[in-house]
A = this chain, B = another copy of it.
Amino acid sequence: MATSAPTSSSTTTTTTSSSSSAGGGGAADPNSTNLRPPGSSYDAWCGVAHGCTRKLGMKICGFLQKNDSLEERSRIVSFLKERTASNLLSCDNMEGEARFRRTETDFSNLFARDLLPAKNGEEVTLQFLLEIVEILTSYVRKTFDRSTKVLDFHHPHQLLEGIEGFNLELSDQPESLEQILVDCRDTLKYGVRTGHPRFFNQLSTGLDIVGLAGEWLTSTANTNMFTYEIAPVFVLMEQLTLKKMREIIGWPNGEGDGIFSPGGAISNMYSVMVARYKFFPEVKTKGMAAAPRLILFTSEHSHYSIKKASAALGFGTENLILLSTDEKGRVIPADLEAKIIKAKQKGHVPLFVNATAGTTVYGAFDPINEIADICEKYNIWLHVDGAWGGGLLMSRKHKHKLDGVHRANSVTWNPHKMMGVPLQCSAIMVRERGLLQGCNSMCAGYLFQPDKQYDVTYDTGDKAIQCGRHVDIFKFWLMWKAKGTVGFEQHIDKCLDLSAYLYSKIKDREGFEMVFSGEPQHTNVCFWYIPPSIRGMPDGKERRERLHKVAPKIKALMMESGTTMVGYQPQGDKVNFFRMVISNPAATRSDIDFLIDEIERLGHEL
């Protein structure tokens, strides 16, 4: 057995491999614990003390052992023995608790094979998991601490070479559990704190504690959504939650269908598949050859997943027509109608329109009602991609931005974005019941037996394009229980307030220029920072080229200093600009102020 010494950059924080004693309730693994055999009276008490108190007990024992005053020793020991005898200090009635107590365990000679289901593996398992939890809770605490960095940036080659002993290579022989713990610490150390109050880089930010607890439970339950048989509670939670979401969308009595999928791109892909099945069900068996040339429509500002779906599902990206938008990034309905008419004139068949509720860059909400009028007129499937903006339906103040969403045939809504649910959590909902099943079912006999003892309509797996399906519902259900609908509403209102605050602070500030005028619809605030060296320059090619390099340069400096993270990108003919988005529940006005100052600090000399 190759037992290499643990290597790490963070050995100073390890609490393992110190003292030798461990004990207490639960079945102790003889390989992992070295119970001191009770010899003298103080040794005997040490056993009790260790069993109950760990460090305090060890310290008392240490004192007893080192103390030369026989008199004091005997006095203390006799007191302690008395108490123990009278059950005052004993562990007898603390069984449940004793089973849940971190003790000093030397993991350097313990391996994965010593954990459950190993014989007597219970105590090692508990201690190992508690060490992990200590690492994780310490990470959680630091995540919310503004005095810590958002990230500690390293280039790929640096991490691959192995920084301070962090070795990513896999080997034939097992590593000790101590090394595994070190690896866990290092993994977090070199990662990015996406829950940090100053992490604004993505649409999914923040670290919801109840959601986190839900994920821990989900992975412990380690089951699969395809049948009620092995996920009874989760299957029902999914049904109830989807119904509630459909009620909020405004479909009568929350009727319809839906499923949680592995992300917004897959949810959007479902919508295209279901639309095709609704109008051309024969494509399922005969392929696209059975259908005329089908055309899909989406905004030029929409998410690239619609384009990915058009390629994957056999439509072809050329049959996805991009719609023009107004200055704020919203689809112009007249453009949609003109393009539908043009497609029909060519003999093509308009099948599907995607209206985005909250575009990725501008946060624009397409005018759903006007688009729905056109879809109804031409009998076209209307999908609303609310992956990013769907969360606003939880807010009485902001839901009007999705007016008309109840007219959609399908809706994507990602609770893992604006609602702060941990990744992954995305729902595709379909207004007409039965289509998801009809589109995707293949009736595999080995999975969906019709002769089960329970109501097999709860076996939802055949609706999916997946077979095994991860349990994405529990964390979301638990958060909803814990926050209530009002809690989500408060979170969303707060984020939108913060983005309004940011907008108001920079719209007239020297050195800042907005990408589009007027208040943003979502939390997306898009702007250029103009360093003093460029401010006086006339508009033109040279200025544009220089400005294009500013955001990447500031972002690089930001990541190297690790102080905050915000995204940038070009869009159409607009050179690189910052896209600030706020979904992070930990962010406050002071973090917005910090971001502005930091951009100025890092960009001032460019």
Contacts and interface: CB of A to CB of B under 8 A. Distances in A.
Contact of A223 (B125, B136, B192, B216): B192
Contacts of A204: 222, 224, 468
A546 interface: no
Interface string A193-216: 011010001101001011011011
Contact of A289 (B135, B316, B480, B568): B316
26 contacts: A55-B97, A75-B79, A76-B79, A112-B483, A126-B137, A128-B209, A156-B458, A175-B482, A177-B482, A180-B210, A180-B213, A187-B234, A191-B233, A202-B230, A224-B423, A263-B468, A283-B314, A288-B288, A288-B316, A303-B444, A303-B467, A314-B314, A360-B444, A424-B468, A449-B569, A451-B576
A39 interface: no
A290 interface: yes
A304 B466 CA distance: 10
Interface stretch (A30-38, A264-272, A335-343): A264-272
Interface string A206-246: 01011011011111111110001111111111001100100
A468 B416 contact: yes
A373 interface: no
Given A237-B168, A265-B465, A319-B287, A140 B129 contact: yes
Contact of A180 (B88, B195, B481): B481
Interface in A294-315: 303-305, 307-315
A59 interface: yes
A236 B168 contact: yes
B266 A466 contact: yes
Interface string A447-487: 10101111100100000111111110010011111111111
B229 A559 contact: yes
Contacts of A266: 262, 465-466
Interface string A425-455: 0100000000000011010111101011111
A562 interface: no
Nearest to A309: B465
A500 interface: no
Contact of A308 (B233, B440, B468, B477): B440
Contacts of A184: 213, 217, 478
How many A residues are at the interface, by size bracket?
Answer: 35 or more
A236 B122 CA distance: 33
A182 to B, nearest CB: 10
Contacts of A187: 217, 221, 233-234, 474
Contacts of A164: none
Contacts of A290: 316
A52 B55 contact: yes
Interface string A82-123: 010000110000101101101000000001110111000110
A515 interface: no
A60 interface: yes
A603 to B, nearest CB: 15
Contacts of A289: 288-289, 293, 316
Given A117-B585, A133-B133, A361-B446, A314 B315 contact: yes
A129 B231 contact: no
A32 to B, nearest CB: 13
Given A284-B317, A287-B288, A552 B485 contact: no
Contacts of A307: 442
Contacts of A117: 144, 197, 585-586
A571 B444 CA distance: 10
B122 A170 contact: no
Given A156-B236, A218-B219, 18 more contacts: A55-B97, A75-B75, A100-B138, A125-B140, A128-B213, A130-B137, A156-B232, A174-B483, A175-B484, A262-B262, A284-B316, A304-B444, A308-B465, A360-B444, A445-B570, A445-B571, A449-B568, A452-B556
Nearest to A443: B304
Interface in A12-69: 13, 15, 26, 49, 52-53, 55-57, 59-60, 62-63
A249 B129 CA distance: 33
Given A116-B144, A195-B222, A316-B285, A100 B102 contact: yes
A229 B466 CA distance: 29
Contact of A141 (B89, B122, B284, B451): B122
A377 B234 CA distance: 48
B173 A202 contact: no
A286 interface: yes
A140 B116 contact: yes
A424 to B, nearest CB: 5
Nearest to A485: B172
Contacts of A180: 210, 213, 478, 481-482
B216 A174 contact: no
A179 interface: yes
A222 B191 CA distance: 10
